[in-house]
Amino acid sequence: MLQIVRNAVLTAINHFNHDFIVSQNEILVERPKDVTLGDVCTNAAMVFAKRLGVTPHDLADAICHELLHNPNVLDTSIAGYGFVNIKVCNDYWRSLINRIILEGNNFSITNNIGNNNKLNIEFVSANPTGPLHTGHARNAVFGSVASNLLEKIGYKVTREFYINDQGNQIKHLARSVYLRYIELLGEIISEDQFNSDMYCGLYIKAIAQKVLDKYGDVFLNKPESEWLDILCNFSINCMLDNIKSDLDDLGVVMDVYTSEAELCRKGMVNEALDILQQHGDIYEGILPKPKGTSKEDWEERPQTLFKSTKYGDDVDRAIKKSDGTWTYFAGDLAYHLDKIRRGFNKMLLVLGADHNGYVKRMKAAVSALSNSQADIEIRLYQLVNFLENGKPVRMSKRKGQFITLKEVVDRVGKDVTRFMMVSRHHDVMIDFDFVKAVEFSMDNPLFYIQYAHARICSVFKYYKEIFNVNDISCRELLQVDKSSLIDDNEINLIKQLSFWPEQVKSAALAIEPHRIPVYLRDIAASFHSLWSKGKSEEQLRFINKNDKEKTLAKLSLLKATQIVLSDGLKILGITPLLEMTKD
């Protein structure tokens, strides 16, 4: 339909000036805000009138004239300063029902944007020093829904988790486990032995028990050199199993786990540095003291630096610490070179808003390492406030008092967690209230959407009872005469459904998953409204016991609605409900 309008605009412009060149995407065709005005509209007359030297109204008139040649166009009108509103005939809309039923979940696919190009999305990438907590929930869900969306527009998506299995924090983890291990063997441990860098959550004890089960008391009274490496590896593996299982419970599946330590062993850091060296992006220097923060212990020190300011960063970044070992950022350089080498020139990285300082340096790194051939997009998401019936839940990561992701999922379920995490724009903070999240009310939009889906299922069930059939074939729904669908409420629902592919496309391009729940809620609202109108207006009731033909026509519309709802929920990673059950 949009193409039909575009062509009409082009032809109309040609009437006035044959040499006038217009590119297709200059012509904006969209749906009017007020649906009573028309089905599609274009502002082309206002945009081009001045350049053509005619009045907007004359151009609009010519566009209307062109459009009326098309059999699908019912009527056109000119409004305001020169908006062209187009009404499309109902047969066109009704024909969409069959298209949706035939295409099913493929209705929302637009392959030609990604063109099967590779795209890497890195998300979660939590330190393997503790279980996933609430902070990771939004990251995991955002990443997984974004992946689904990007696949819909034709990208070959690789979901990836970067394991920071190197550095001091891993040693602290191993030492913490060791303390609990010797405690299990009868040693008295005071809490003072856990310094501020160490981990004292309950999960440490669980790992210690596993160490004991596997190795017995062989590490007791042995120097650190004899157990540190073994416990590092053992602890990381335990934590990774834990993380993978938690992600699995949330419906998040990674394609690739990449180990930082492994990359270092392969010499990737040196390779990355060689590339930067060749471009003259590395030098020995001294970083200036950061302003604003009163760093008492600040001291100037010469370091190996990356000239990231050349690529738009605010300051240059250290690659080596003052003791000569690699910084964390050096590992990032290696990792992103690895991504580039694996053929990803499009990358997406999902980070919490507290990492906002990383955006520029990561973009600089990718740009420098790929000769500006690769591009990394970074999405920052705001943090989530957890509430218990309006009252904030206090968390202290230091004391090991934080809500784990597992606790959240166990309490409210995978589907509610996912919906809550992805229902807001990523730049907006989310209040996650444990009580309201599971309420069956309009405070909980997921319930409302699921209810619509369940109601549709219920209609199909009722149909089978009434007409005493075992199943409804797609062929019946495709072949039935749909001309009985004449009510505005019915046609409007089809119109809304017709925007679904566009909706998925725009959400994917903008990487804004929250648009999906917003749209699904609108669909659910139209459906609930239609349902209720059937109570007062009999011709709107879905099931007419005396007219199987009309009933099937209505059911075809419901089928199309159900397809869009369940496709949308599938993108969100949520299982559509066949019936609502309390508790």
Partner RNA sequence: GUAUCCGUAGCUCAGUUGGAUAGAGCGUUUCCCUCCGGAGGAAGAGGUCGUUGGUUCAAAUCCAAUCGGAUACACCA
Question: Using the rule CB under 7 A, which residue among 66, 281, 338, 512 binds RNA?
Answer: 512
Residues 526-545 that bind RNA (CB under 7 A): 528-536, 540-543
Identity of the residue, 83 or 227, whose beta carbon is nearer to RNA in the bound complex = 83
Handedness of CA 454, 459, 465, 469 (dihedral sign): negative
User: Between helices 328-341 and 359-369, what is the axis angle to 10°?
Assistant: 50
Identity of the residue, 35 or 102, whose beta carbon is nearer to RNA in the bound complex = 35
Residues 473-502 that bind RNA (CB under 7 A): 499, 502
Residues that bind RNA (rule: CB under 7 A) add up to a total of 102
**440 near RNA (CB under 7 A):** yes
**18 near RNA (CB under 7 A):** no
Q: Are 264 and 334 in contact (CB under 8 A)?
A: yes
- By CB under 7 A, which span of 90-98, 102-110, 184-192, 441-449 interacts with RNA? 441-449
- Long-range contacts (CB closer than 8 Å, 24 or more residues apart) made by 385-389: 385/429, 385/430, 385/431, 385/432, 386/134, 386/432, 386/433, 386/434, 387/431, 387/432, 387/433, 387/434, 387/435, 388/433, 388/434, 388/435, 389/433, 389/434, 389/435, 389/436
Residue 320 gets which letter from DSSP? B
Residues 6+ positions from 163 with CB-CB distance below 8 Å:
125, 128, 236, 240, 257, 258, 259, 260, 261
Identity of the residue, 419 or 542, whose beta carbon is nearer to RNA in the bound complex = 542
Question: Using the rule CB under 7 A, which residue among 267, 343, 357, 392 binds RNA?
Answer: 357
How far apart are alpha carbons 61 and 581 in whole angstroms? 56
Identity of the residue, 79 or 206, whose beta carbon is nearer to RNA in the bound complex = 79
Question: Using the rule CB under 7 A, which residue among 441, 468, 473, 546 binds RNA?
Answer: 441
Identity of the residue, 72 or 327, whose beta carbon is nearer to RNA in the bound complex = 327
- By CB under 7 A, which span of 67-75, 290-298, 342-350, 402-410 interacts with RNA? 290-298
Residues 6+ positions from 93 with CB-CB distance below 8 Å:
491, 494, 495, 498
How far apart are alpha carbons 311 and 320 in whole angstroms? 19
Question: Using the rule CB under 7 A, which residue among 59, 318, 405, 572 binds RNA?
Answer: 318
Residues 6+ positions from 522 with CB-CB distance below 8 Å:
496
User: What's the min distance (Å) between Cβ of 121 and RNA?
Assistant: 17
Nearest C-alpha neighbor of 208 from the set 241, 237, 247, 182: 182
Residue written as token pair 């596993």: 210
Residues 88-127 that bind RNA (CB under 7 A): 127
Nearest C-alpha neighbor of 44 from the set 83, 4, 2, 3: 83
User: What's the min distance (Å) between Cβ of 184 and RNA?
Assistant: 27
Residues 163-192 that bind RNA (CB under 7 A): 164, 166-170
In three-state secondary structure terms, 282 is: strand
Nearest C-alpha neighbor of 122 from the set 340, 318, 302: 340
- By CB under 7 A, which span of 62-70, 150-158, 265-273, 311-319 interacts with RNA? 311-319
Residue 232 gets which letter from DSSP? H
Question: Using the rule CB under 7 A, which residue among 17, 115, 322, 539 binds RNA?
Answer: 322
- By CB under 7 A, which span of 26-34, 116-124, 184-192, 471-479 interacts with RNA? 26-34
User: What's the min distance (Å) between Cβ of 158 and RNA?
Assistant: 23
Q: Outline where DSSP puts E strands in 60-102.
A: 73-79, 83-88
Nearest C-alpha neighbor of 327 from the set 335, 319, 316: 319
- By CB under 7 A, which span of 60-68, 245-253, 317-325, 342-350 interacts with RNA? 317-325
Identity of the residue, 213 or 538, whose beta carbon is nearer to RNA in the bound complex = 538
**314 near RNA (CB under 7 A):** yes
Question: Using the rule CB under 7 A, which residue among 515, 548, 570, 575 binds RNA?
Answer: 515
User: What's the min distance (Å) between Cβ of 70 and RNA?
Assistant: 18
Residues 220-279 that bind RNA (CB under 7 A): none
**410 near RNA (CB under 7 A):** no
- Conformation bin of residue 343: beta by default, left when phi > 0, alpha when psi is -120 to 50: left
- By CB under 7 A, which span of 200-208, 238-246, 357-365, 408-416 interacts with RNA? 357-365
CA dihedral 494, 496, 499, 503 (to 10 degrees): -140
How far apart are alpha carbons 407 and 401 in whole angstroms? 12
Residues 334-353 that bind RNA (CB under 7 A): 353
Identity of the residue, 42 or 144, whose beta carbon is nearer to RNA in the bound complex = 42
User: What's the min distance (Å) between Cβ of 286 and RNA?
Assistant: 9
User: What's the min distance (Å) between Cβ of 154 and RNA?
Assistant: 17
Identity of the residue, 193 or 458, whose beta carbon is nearer to RNA in the bound complex = 458
Residues 28-87 that bind RNA (CB under 7 A): 28, 30-34, 37-38, 41, 43, 46-47, 50, 79-81, 83, 85
**328 near RNA (CB under 7 A):** yes
153-to-81, 126, 157, 223, 422 alpha-carbon distances in Å: 36, 28, 11, 56, 19
Identity of the residue, 41 or 73, whose beta carbon is nearer to RNA in the bound complex = 41
Identity of the residue, 215 or 499, whose beta carbon is nearer to RNA in the bound complex = 499
Question: Using the rule CB under 7 A, which residue among 70, 105, 209, 327 binds RNA?
Answer: 327
Burial of 142 (0-12, 13-18, 19+ CB in 10 A): buried
